[in-house]
Amino acid sequence: MPVIENHSFVEDAWNHLEDGDSAENRSMIIVPLARLEEVLTGWPAGHRGLGVDVPNDADVDVLTRHLARLDIVTLNFPGFADGRAFSQARSIRHTDHFGGTIRARGGFLPDQYGFLLQSGVDSFEVSDRFSLEEWIRHADAVPATYQHDYATGGLATRPFAEAGAWPEQPHYG
């Protein structure tokens, strides 16, 4: 399937490990979350090229202690209306400071491309239903955001003159 990163189609270097396949002597593989512990046990220290595929009903807290050894996390959209992966991405990227690739897979729509970027997703496995141009133009269809700490890719946030401490009684009584 085509993969979009940095608003371009890129060669997908990753392979999903099939059920029953061994991870031994492999690289650039994405393993199901259920097999992560097992694969990591045999994974040589310092080796890169490992990723995990996370179901959208999984608790991503179980990933936290492994993230340093992973290069990619793939998150799933069974349908575009199921928004759990937005929070999974945000938790992994923002709370756990994951610096690798977060890839979205499944039935999300171009209209969600901007929100996904803002939530921390930076790789998109897409079908050929929509053109690259169609995806890209949705990145900043609404070019301004109220969520300062989610803003990515040049989205405008409200400019402030100066920083300030939290006021004692900021509104009128």
Partner 1 sequence: MNMHVSPEPNMYRYDEFDRRFVDARVAQFRDQVARRLDGTITEDEFKPMRLMNGLYHQLHAYMLRVAVPYGTMSSRQLNVLADIADKYDRGYGHWTTRQNIQFNWIRLQDAADILDMLANVEMHAIQTSGNCIRNTTTDAYAGAAADELADPRPVCELIRQWSSLHPEFTYLPRKFKIAVTGSPNDRAAVRVHDIGLRMHLNAAGERGWEVLVGGGQGRTPMIAVTVRDWLREADLLPYLTAVMRVYNLIGRRDNKYKARIKILVHEMGAEAFSAAVEKEFAEAPRETLEVDARELVRISSYFAPPAWETLAPFVPEIEEKKLADRGFRMWLAANTAAHKVPGYSIVNASFKPAGGIPGDATSQQMRAVAALADTYSFGEVRVTHAQNLTMPHVRTADLIEVWEQLKQHGLAEANIGLIGDIISCPGLDYCALATARSIPVAQEISTRCADIKKQHDVGPLKLNISGCINACGHHHVGHIGILGVDKKGREFYQITLGGSSAGNASIGKILGPGFGADEIAGAVETVVDTYLNVREQGEEFLQTYRRLGAAPFKEALYASN
Question: What residues line the site for partner 1 (CB under 8 A)?
Answer: 59, 80-84, 86-88, 90-91, 94-95, 109, 111-112, 114-116, 118-119, 141-150, 156, 158-160, 162-173
Which is nearer to partner 1, 76 or 112 (by Cβ)?
A: 112
Q: Which is nearer to partner 1, 127 or 146 (CB)?
A: 146
Q: Give the three-state DSSP class for 60.
A: helix
Q: How far is the CB of 135 from partner 1 (least distance, A)?
A: 13
Smallest gap from Cβ 99 to partner 1, in A, equals 14
Half-sphere exposure of 160 (CA within 13 A, CB side): 6
Cα–Cα separations (whole angstroms), residue 79 to 85, 97, 99, 128: 11, 27, 26, 16
Tell me the C-alpha distance between 118 and 131, whole Å. Answer: 21
Return the number of the residue (2 or 107) whose C-beta is nearest partner 1.
Answer: 107
